[in-house]
C-alpha cells in the first residue's frame, strides 16, 4: 500500500543504496536532489489528497453498488446560510451531515442545536479551523479537536466520532491526534468547490455531472451559491433514482459516543 511508512522505507533504502554505490561509482549530487524532490512530491500528494490514505485512513465513499449518496456540509454553523440549508433539507425530507467548527458552535449554539434536533448527523471539524492548523503539533491538534467535542457535548449531550480534516489536509501529527481521540476520519469523493464557484449554473452542472453511486458530496454551509443550487440538486438526484441517506447510515458507522 502506498502510504507514508512504505514510501519512507523505499526512499530510505534507495538513499542508503545510492550512498553505498557512490564509493564505487560516480553518482552526481543532482541524483540525490532528484530523489529528495520525488520524495517530497509524494509527501505533498499524500497531505493534499484526503482520499489517498497516505498518512491517515479516511472513508471517502459508500458502496458503489448501491444507488445511495450522502450530503455533507463543512464550516458551519453560520447564520443565514445554515438556516436556509436546513429549511431546504426539511422541505425535501433529506438528512445530511454537518462537520462543524467549535468556535462557531459557541457563537451559534441555538442554530447548532437545531441541526441536531432535526436529525442531521454532526461531525468534528476542529474547534479553531486555524489557517495554520496543519502546522500544529499533535498535542495542540488533539487539544483543539477535544475542545470541539467538549463544546458539542455541552450543547447537545453527545460527542462526535466522525471527523473531517480542516482543508482536507492530513499529516503524521493529525493521525496521532485523530487516533488519540478515537475518531473515524471522513473524506469525500465529490468536491463541489462551492467556496470557489459562485455561478449557480456552473456549480449545479459540476455536482450533477459527478454524481455516482456511493458518493459523499462536500458542500459548505457558508455561502450563497450552495443555498441557491441545493434544492435543484436534491431534485435532480431523486429524479435520477438516487436515495439520499445520512452519512453515518451510508457508511454504517456510529456517529456519537
pLDDT of residue 197: 95
Q: With 80 as the cut, is the pLDDT of residue 125 above it?
A: yes
Q: Rounded mean pLDDT of 216-222? A: 97
143 is written with which cell numbers?
487539544
CATH topology of domain 58-251: TIM Barrel (3.20.20)
Cell triple for residue 201? 449554473
The pLDDT tens digits of the residues spanning 150-207 come to 999 999 999 999 999 999 999 999 999 999 999 999 999 999 999 999 999 999 999 9
The reply to whether 144 belongs to the active site is no
Catalytic residue among 75, 125, 220, 248: 220
* 59 neighbors 186 (Cβ within 8 angstroms): yes
Band (pLDDT 50/70/90 cuts) for residue 76 is very high
Nine-digit cell at 71?
A: 450530503
174-186: per-residue pLDDT in tens? Answer: 999 999 999 999 9
Closest CA to 246 of 22, 94, 46, 86: 94
Rounded Cα distance, 257 and 247, in Å: 16
Map out the domains of the chain as residue ranges: 4-48, 58-251
pTM for the full model?
A: 0.93
Report d(CA 106, CA 229) in Å as an integer: 28
pLDDT at residue number 26:
82
Question: Cα-atom radius of gyration of the chain, to the nearest Å?
Answer: 21
With a cut of 90, say whether residue 94 has pLDDT above it.
yes
Average pLDDT, integer, range 93-104: 98
The cell for 190 is 465529490
pLDDT in tens, 132-148: 999 999 999 999 999 99
Q: What is the pLDDT of residue 193?
A: 96
The H or E element containing residue 216 is strand 216-220
Q: How far apart are alpha carbons 215 and 24 in whole angstroms?
A: 54
pLDDT at 61: 97
**pLDDT digits 0-9 by tens, 14-65:** 999 999 887 778 888 899 999 999 999 999 999 999 999 999 999 999 999 9
Determine how β-strand 243-244 pairs with β-strand 68-74: parallel
Determine whether 220 is an active site residue: yes
Active-site option among 74, 144, 194, 221: 74
Quote the CA–CA distance of 50 and 164 in Å, as a whole number.
9
Q: Return the pLDDT at 133.
A: 96
Q: Which residues of 59-80 are buried (b: 16+ CB within 10 A; e: fewer)?
A: bbbbeeeeebbbbbbbbbbbee
Question: What are the cell numbers at 240?
Answer: 435520477
Mean pLDDT of the chain: 96
C-alpha cell at 27: 553518482
Q: Are 221 and 85 in contact (CB under 8 A)?
A: yes
Amino acid at each position: 500500500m502506498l502510504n507514508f511508512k512504505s514510501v519512507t522505507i523505499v526512499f530510505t533504502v534507495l538513499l542508503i543504496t545510492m550512498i553505498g554505490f557512490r564509493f564505487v561509482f560516480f553518482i552526481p549530487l543532482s541524483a540525490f536532489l532528484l530523489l529528495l524532490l520525488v520524495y517530497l512530491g509524494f509527501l505533498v500528494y499524500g497531505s493534499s489528497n484526503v482520499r489517498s490514505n497516505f498518512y491517515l485512513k479516511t472513508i471517502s465513499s459508500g458502496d458503489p453498488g448501491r444507488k445511495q449518496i450522502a450530503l455533507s456540509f463543512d464550516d458551519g454553523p453560520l447564520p443565514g446560510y445554515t438556516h436556509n440549508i436546513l429549511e431546504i433539507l426539511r422541505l425535501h425530507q433529506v438528512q445530511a451531515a454537518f462537520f462543524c467548527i467549535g468556535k462557531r458552535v459557541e457563537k451559534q449554539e441555538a442554530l447548532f442545536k437545531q441541526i441536531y434536533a432535526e436529525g442531521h448527523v454532526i461531525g468534528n471539524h476542529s474547534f479553531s479551523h486555524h489557517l495554520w492548523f496543519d502546522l500544529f503539533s499533535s498535542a495542540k491538534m488533539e487539544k483543539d479537536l477535544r475542545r470541539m467535542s467538549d463544546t458539542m457535548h455541552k450543547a447537545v449531550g453527545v460527542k462526535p466520532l466522525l471527523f473531517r480534516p480542516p482543508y482536507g489536509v492530513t499529516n503524521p501529527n493529525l493521525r496521532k491526534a485523530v487516533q488519540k481521540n478515537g475518531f473515524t476520519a471522513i473524506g469525500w469523493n465529490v468536491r463541489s468547490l462551492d467556496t470557489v464557484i459562485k455561478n449557480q449554473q456552473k456549480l449545479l452542472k459540476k455536482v450533477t455531472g459527478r454524481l455516482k453511486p456511493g458518493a459523499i458530496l462536500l458542500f459548505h454551509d457558508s455561502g450563497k451559491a450552495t443555498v441557491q443550487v441545493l434544492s435543484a440538486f436534491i431534485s435532480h438526484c431523486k429524479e435520477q433514482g438516487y436515495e439520499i441517506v445520512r452519512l453515518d447510515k451510508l457508511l454504517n458507522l456510529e456517529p456519537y459516543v
